């Protein structure tokens, strides 16, 4: 089942000599449960690609379909709600709410939609994340790796069709990075969610089913485990 389809996505910043073509007619698709990694040097366009797919930035041309819905045919309010319910975001910075404990941070997206968290699903998520014993801890009482686990749980709790991860291990040491990547893979397989991750670390591509490279705004597929 196709979850993500990107068609001829283009994005330009600046004008004149400062003009930069961040994306040049990028097209690809991903099926349910696939784990994709996007690599490229700084400034290659990979972050712009992720932000356009997630509706955080608007492309100049092209289309993004998520579960068959055209993201940019929606109005701003409709897109915001759709994004919250259908896309999970994981960033390099954890963006946890310091006053809320682990369980509250994970279930926060549900509360934004006035939904009561399902206790069984929350318990299951905490178990998958290995955070059952830490559920009442505040972010300040956790290690960096544990905080990123909470951020992953928050991205997955609404069971979104698509998870977008922007350098999810960028602030972690190698040991924590491996733990987080294994957890992200495990969670995506368990919940059959499509994951698209951008990274500058080629070592992390070993976790991906498909690997893409962005260079000068153009995207090509390298295949799985492109080391």
Q: At 154, which CATH number?
A: 3.40.50.300
Comparing CA positions, the residue from 161, 132, 162, 167 lying closest to residue 148 is 167
Assigned domain for 68 exists: yes
| pTM of the predicted model as reported, rounded to 2 decimal places | 0.88
Assigned domain for 30 exists: yes
Task: Look at residue 50 in the predicted model and tell me its pLDDT.
Answer: 94
Task: Look at residue 225 in the predicted model and tell me its pLDDT.
Answer: 45
Assigned domain for 227 exists: no
- Residue 95, sorted as left (phi over 0), alpha (psi -120 to 50) or beta, turns out to be left
In the chain (227 residues long), the average pLDDT of successive 10-residue segments reads 96 88 95 93 88 92 95 92 91 91 95 89 89 95 92 90 90 82 84 91 90 93 60
Assigned domain for 100 exists: yes
Task: Look at residue 200 in the predicted model and tell me its pLDDT.
Answer: 84
SS (H, E, C) the chain: CEEEEEEEEEEEECCHHHCEEEEEEEEEEEECCCEEEEECCCCCCHHHHHHHHCCCCCCCEEEEEECCEEHHHCCHHHHHHHHHHHEEEECCCCCCCCCCCHHHHHHHHHHHCCCCCCHHHHHHHHHHHCCHHHCCCCHHHCCHHHHHHHHHHHHHCCCCCEEEEECCCCCCCHHHHHHHHHHHHHHHHHHCCEEEEEECCHHHHHHCCEEEEEECCEEEECCCCCC
Residue 93 tokens read as 């910075």
Assigned domain for 76 exists: yes
Burial (CB count within 10 angstroms: exposed 0-12, middle 13-18, buried 19+), residue 152:
buried
Assigned domain for 226 exists: no
β-bridge mates for residue 39, sequence order: 199, 213
Task: Look at residue 108 in the predicted model and tell me its pLDDT.
Answer: 94
Task: Look at residue 223 in the predicted model and tell me its pLDDT.
Answer: 59
Task: Look at residue 226 in the predicted model and tell me its pLDDT.
Answer: 44
**Spatial CB neighbours of 226, under 8 Å, sequence gap ≥ 6:** 39, 202, 205, 211, 213
For the chain, how many structural domains are there in total?
Answer: 1
Assigned domain for 62 exists: yes
Assigned domain for 206 exists: yes
Give pairs for 201-204: CB < 8 Å, separation 24+. Answer: 201/169, 201/177, 202/39, 202/226, 202/227, 203/227, 204/37, 204/169, 204/177
**Spatial CB neighbours of 46, under 8 Å, sequence gap ≥ 6:** 38, 39, 40, 198, 214
Q: Mind listing the pLDDT tens digit for each residue in 185-212?
A: 887 888 889 999 999 888 889 999 999 9
Task: Look at residue 178 in the predicted model and tell me its pLDDT.
Answer: 86
156: containing domain: 2-221
Q: Cα(122)–Cα(12) distance, rounded to whole angstroms?
A: 42
């Amino acid at each position: 089942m196709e979850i993500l389809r990107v068609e001829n996505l283009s994005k330009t910043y600046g004008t004149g000599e400062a003009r930069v073509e961040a994306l040049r007619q990028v097209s690809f698709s991903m099926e349910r449960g696939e784990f994709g990694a996007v690599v490229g040097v700084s400034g290659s366009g990979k972050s712009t690609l992720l932000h356009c797919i997630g509706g955080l930035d608007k492309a100049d041309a092209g289309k993004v379909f998520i579960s068959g819905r055209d993201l940019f045919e929606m109005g701003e309010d409709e897109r915001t709600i759709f994004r919250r319910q259908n896309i999970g975001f994981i960033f390099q910075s954890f963006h946890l709410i310091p006053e809320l404990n682990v369980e509250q941070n994970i279930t926060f997206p549900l509360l934004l939609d006035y939904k009561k968290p399902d206790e069984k699903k929350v318990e299951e998520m905490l178990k998958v994340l290995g955070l059952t014993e830490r559920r009442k801890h505040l972010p300040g009482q956790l290690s960096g790796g544990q905080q990123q686990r909470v951020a992953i749980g928050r991205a997955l709790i609404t069971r979104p069709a698509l998870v977008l991860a922007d350098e999810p291990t960028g602030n972690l040491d190698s040991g924590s990075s491996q733990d987080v990547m294994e957890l992200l893979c495990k969670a995506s397989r368990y919940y059959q969610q499509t994951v698209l991750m951008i990274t500058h670390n080629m070592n992390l591509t070993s976790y991906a089913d498909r690997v893409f490279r962005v260079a000068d705004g153009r995207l090509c597929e390298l295949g799985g485990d492109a080391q």
